[in-house]
Structure 1
Amino acid sequence: MTGLYLAGLLVSIAGLLVLDLRLKVFLFAAPRRAAVVLLVGVAGFLAWDLAGVGLGIFFEGRNDLLVGVDLAPDVPLEEVFFLLLLCLSAMEAFLLAQRLLQRRTPAEGRR
């Protein structure tokens, strides 16, 4: 099924955005800063991917789940959305864990 992987990535990103909207952890807490962080993260990982492709380490392979659009040799369109999902989930998890630890720390000091 062509495009199934991209659809899964978009559903996952949408789910993270809904959680972020509800909890105001990352993107909806500081939109400009979050956009810069996401842009730098995705660009850094894309550079990593391009270097890996250039060295012959990474390759696309053929898969019926991809839409078939390549941004560069062996770099499918879905890679950008995967990297966005990766960076978004990492930042939300980190900031949510930080928030939870900050809430927990003052309560422990009152004992």
Structure 2
Amino acid sequence: MGFAYLAALLVSLGCLALCDHRWRLAFFADARRAAWTVGTGVVAFLLWDVAGLLLGIFARGDSPHLTGLLLAPELPVEEAFFLTLLCYVSLLAWRGLERAASARAERARGVGAGGAR
């Protein structure tokens, strides 16, 4: 039971990667930029977590679903995977919405120019 949360995070990341592959939104469009974007977000959030832990604002808590492996005192390894999931889903949502808005604008220009394409 100790690996349930980590397994769920990994399955979720895998499903995001499948969506990314299907629509070529992030890593499958520009891997270096996507890695930089997700990596920067994960590092920033990990620093935020460490600051919160040092100030006593955050605490690990107990859960039978965690592996017990720690990146640092009170910082479970699952947190890095969760933050990766958070940043990756945010990037995919941004890119998907950006692509949809671009397609909508292109259709509007086509209709406004005298007809549909």
TM range (shorter): over 0.9
Corresponding residue for residue 57 of structure 1 = 57
Q: Distance in 2 between matches of 1:59 and 1:51?
A: 11
Q: Distance in 2 between matches of 1:68 and 1:90?
A: 27
- Taking structure 2 as the reference length, the TM-score comes to 0.92
Corresponding residue for residue 40 of structure 1 = 40
Q: How many residues align?
A: 111
Runs of 4+ with deviation above 6 angstroms: none
Deviation (angstroms), 1:83:
0.4
Deviation (angstroms), 1:77:
0.4
Corresponding residue for residue 18 of structure 2 = 18
Q: Distance in 2 between matches of 1:69 and 1:32?
A: 29
Counterpart of 1:66, as a letter, is L
Q: List alignment gaps of at least 5 residues for structure 2.
A: 113-117
Corresponding residue for residue 115 of structure 2 = none
Moved more, 30-39 or 85-94: 30-39
Deviation (angstroms), 1:106:
2.1
Corresponding residue for residue 95 of structure 1 = 95
Corresponding residue for residue 75 of structure 1 = 75
Q: Distance in 2 between matches of 1:94 and 1:38?
A: 12
Answer with 1 or 2: which has the greater Rg: 2
- What's the C-alpha RMSD, in Å, of the aligned pairs? 0.8
The share of aligned pairs that are identical, in percent, is 42
Deviation (angstroms), 1:108:
2.2
Q: Distance in 1 between matches of 2:107 and 2:36?
A: 34
Q: List alignment gaps of at least 5 residues for structure 1.
A: none
Deviation (angstroms), 1:87:
0.3
- Taking structure 1 as the reference length, the TM-score comes to 0.96
